[in-house]
Amino acid sequence: MASELHTKSSSEKHSKTHGGQALEGNTRRPAPLPFSNTDKLGSATKELPASKKSTVETTGEAKLHSHLRKGSVSSLAGKLDSSLYLGNSKQVPAFDHTADQEKKKLENGSVKDSSASAKVSDGASSIAKTSGSAKISDRVDFVDSGKSSLCRGSTSTDVSDESTCSSLSSTVNKPHKANDLRWEAIQAVRSKDGGLDLRHFRLLKKLGCGDIGSVYLSELCGTKCYFAMKVMDKASLASRKKLLRAQTEREILQSLDHPFLPTLYTHFETDKFSCLVMEFCPGGDLHTLRQRQPGKHFSEQAVKFYVAEVLLALEYLHMLGIVYRDLKPENVLVREDGHIMLSDFDLSLRCTVSPTLIKSSSLETEPLRKGTVYCAQPACIEPSCIQPSCMVPTTCFGPRFFSSKSKKERKSKNEIGNQVSPLPELIAEPTDARSMSFVGTHEYLAPEIIKGEGHGSAVDWWTFGIFLYELLFGKTPFKGSGNRQTLFNVVGQPLRFPESPVVSFAARDLIRGLLVKEPQHRLAYKRGATEIKQHPFFEGVNWALIRCASPPEVPRPVEIEKVSVPPAQASVKVAPAALTNQQNSDNYLEFDFF
C-alpha cells in the first residue's frame, strides 16, 4: 500500500465565491488533519477531528498505462452515449452532423489516431501494457479488468495549444460543441495567433481554490465569452508530487464530450503555470444550493432531476473506463441553464472497459434475443458493427431542437417524464477494475475502500447512494463524531432513515439498494447505470431528453461588470512571472496559489 495518505485541503473553500457573489451560508466543513495510513479501520490509532467532507487520497499507488486503440473506440462511446440521450430520432428534428464529421475526420487524418496509445492510471505507480502484455512497475495494486480498451474521446492534441492541431479536428473530437460560440471564439483565436496563452484572457475573479490550483472567472479578451480557468503552479505541483494528479485530470477532461461534464476548451502551459480553460458554471455547487433550501434539503422532485443527470454523467464516465470516486454535492456545479456539471477529476481512476450493448432500442423491430450479447470489442468498432439505433444524430444538443418548436410544444416546467420509447441498453461498467488507493471523502467512502479490500466502479454507486441520501435528508447517513467514527459507521452501522423529511418508499428503496456494504450485492454492480435507471424512483424520467427538461432552479445571470474589478480598484500586486509577459495589461488580478 502507499506510504502516504493525503487530505485535500478544503479549508480554502471557505472563502470560495461563485459567480461574483459571495456564497454566504456556505457551511463547507473544515479540513481534517492530514490523514495517515494508520487512520484506516483496523489499524486506526488516533481520533481525528470532525470530518468535514474533505477528500482523502493515497498517493504513490497504482497506475496503469495501456496502449489502446483510441479513435475508433472513442467514436463508439460518443455514439452509444448519443443514443442514450436521443431515443427515437424521428421524434425530434435532426441535427445530423455525424456523416459530415466522419468525413472531416478522415480528411483531417484523425483515423491515424486509432493506433495511438492512451494512458490509464489512477494517479500512482504504473503498469505498461501493450497488446496484451503488461509491464508492471514496483508497487502495483491495480488489476486490469481483463476487458478491452479504454475509450478516449479525444487526446491532448485536441485542445492543447502545445500542439499544432487544426480547429476542425478539435470540433470533430467534441461533436457536441459544434454550435458553441465559445468553442468558435477559441478556435478563431487559435487560427489567428497559432495558439492561446494567458495574454488572450482577462482574469476577472477568483472563483475558488482546490488542492492543485486556483480557478478564475476569465474572459477571452474582447469576445464576451467567459470561462473558468484553472491555473496550476507547476513548481508547486512538482514539489508536492501532484503533477500526476494534474495530468490525470487534464487527460480526463480532454476526453469528455457530454452535456453534464466539463468542456475543456483549451489547455496551455507557460513557463510557470499549467492552465485549463473550461466552461464556467455560475450557479455554484449543490452543497451550497442545498444550504439555501428550506430545511436544508431539496424536494424529492428536484433531487430526482439532479441525481438523474449525475447518473448519466457517471454512466458516460464508466463507459470511458473512468471511475469518478469523488461524488459529493460540492463537486456538482450548476450551469447557467440550471443543469448540472460534474467537476473535479483529479482523483478519478482510469481503467479498461468494454461497452456492451445488451438490448437495442425500440427502433429495432425486435429486442435482442435473451442472452444475446453485443459486445463492442475494439476489433469490430466500425460503423457497421454498431447498432443503427446507436447512431442517431445528436438532436438533444443542437439549438435547432428548440427553434423548431413553439414554446407551447416545449416540455412543461419540471416535466422530465413520459419516456416515449425504450432506449438501447448498455453495460459499460468497469466492474473488475481494482484499485487499492484510499481516496474519497470520509462520509462518502465506500466500505470496501475503508477496509482496503480493493475497489472498482461499484464505489461510484455507493457514493451515488450517499449523494441521494444527503440531497433528500440534508445529511449523510453514517457521519460520526469524528472521521474515525464515521469510517466505523460506514463499515459497521446499518442504514437508517430519519423520520423527517418524509420521502417516498421508492427513494428509500433505491438508497437501500445502493448502500449495500458488499459491493457485489450492491445495485448496479453487474449492469451499471442501466439497473439504477430502471428503479421505480426514476419512473417517468425521460432519459433521452433530460437535457431539454426544465431544471428545478436556474441561477440568476451573472453581471460580469459587477464581477470584474476595475483596474483602479484592483489590488494590483506584482504579477507572477508568467503574467508579466502578458501583452494585455488588463490582466491585473493577483495570482495567489494554495
Ligand X SMILES: Nc1ncnc2c1ncn2[C@@H]1O[C@H](COP(=O)(O)OP(=O)(O)OP(=O)(O)O)[C@@H](O)[C@H]1O
Which positions touch ligand X (CB under 6 A)?
Answer: 8, 13, 16, 207-213, 215, 228, 230, 262, 278-281, 285, 331, 333, 343-344, 346
- Please answer whether residues 377 and 369 qualify as being in contact, where contact means their C-beta atoms are separated by less than 8 angstroms: no
| Gap between the Cα atoms of 418 and 581, Å rounded | 56
Minimum CB separation of residue 242 from ligand X in Å reads 9
Q: Which is nearer to ligand X, 69 or 250 (CB)?
A: 250
Q: Which is nearer to ligand X, 123 or 528 (CB)?
A: 123
Strand partners, 216: 206, 229
Q: Which is nearer to ligand X, 182 or 230 (CB)?
A: 230
- Please answer whether residues 77 and 151 qualify as being in contact, where contact means their C-beta atoms are separated by less than 8 angstroms: yes
Cell of 2: 502507499
Q: Which residues contact 510 (CB under 8 A, 6 or more apart)?
A: 465, 468, 523, 532, 535, 536, 537
Other CB atoms within a 10 A radius of the CB of residue 583 amount to: 11
Cis peptide before 501 (omega within 30 of 0): yes
Minimum CB separation of residue 150 from ligand X in Å reads 22
Minimum CB separation of residue 419 from ligand X in Å reads 30
Q: Which of 144, 158, 326, 460 is catalytic?
A: 326
Nearest to 309 by CA among 55, 550, 18: 550
Alpha carbon distances (Å) from 446 to 47, 431, 432, 451, 487: 20, 15, 16, 9, 9
Cell of 439: 481516496
Place of cell 490582466: 587
- Please answer whether residues 491 and 41 qualify as being in contact, where contact means their C-beta atoms are separated by less than 8 angstroms: yes
Nearest to 82 by CA among 327, 340, 398: 398
Q: Is position 460 annotated as part of the catalytic site?
A: no
Strand partners, 217: 205, 228
Q: Which is nearer to ligand X, 347 or 503 (CB)?
A: 347
* SS3 of 540-593: CCCHHHHHHCCCCCCCCCCCHHHHCCCCCCCCCCCCCHHHHCCCCCCCCCCCCC
Strands 356-359 vs 374-375: parallel, antiparallel or unpaired: antiparallel
Alpha carbon distances (Å) from 459 to 429, 437, 462, 466, 523: 12, 12, 5, 11, 11
- Please answer whether residues 115 and 339 qualify as being in contact, where contact means their C-beta atoms are separated by less than 8 angstroms: no
- Please answer whether residues 272 and 233 qualify as being in contact, where contact means their C-beta atoms are separated by less than 8 angstroms: yes
Q: Which is nearer to ligand X, 207 or 541 (CB)?
A: 207
Q: Which is nearer to ligand X, 207 or 546 (CB)?
A: 207
DSSP per-residue string spanning 361-398: -TTSSSPPPTT--EE--GGG-SGGGS-GGGG---GGGS
Minimum CB separation of residue 544 from ligand X in Å reads 26
- Residue 590 burial (10 A CB sphere; 0-12, 13-18, 19+): middle
Q: Which is nearer to ligand X, 210 or 321 (CB)?
A: 210
Strands 62-67 vs 125-130: parallel, antiparallel or unpaired: parallel
Question: Length of the chain in residues, anyone?
Answer: 594
Residue of this chain nearest to ligand X (CB atom): 210
- The gap between the terminal CA atoms of the chain, to the nearest Å, is 28
Strand order of the sheet with strand 125-130?
Answer: 118-121, 62-67, 125-130, 133-136
DSSP per-residue string spanning 433-487: -BB----EEGGG--HHHHTTS-B-THHHHHHHHHHHHHHHHSS-TT--SSHHHHH
Q: Which is nearer to ligand X, 56 or 228 (CB)?
A: 228
Q: Which is nearer to ligand X, 64 or 228 (CB)?
A: 228
Cell of 594: 494554495
Q: Which is nearer to ligand X, 238 or 380 (CB)?
A: 238
* Active-site annotation, residues: 326
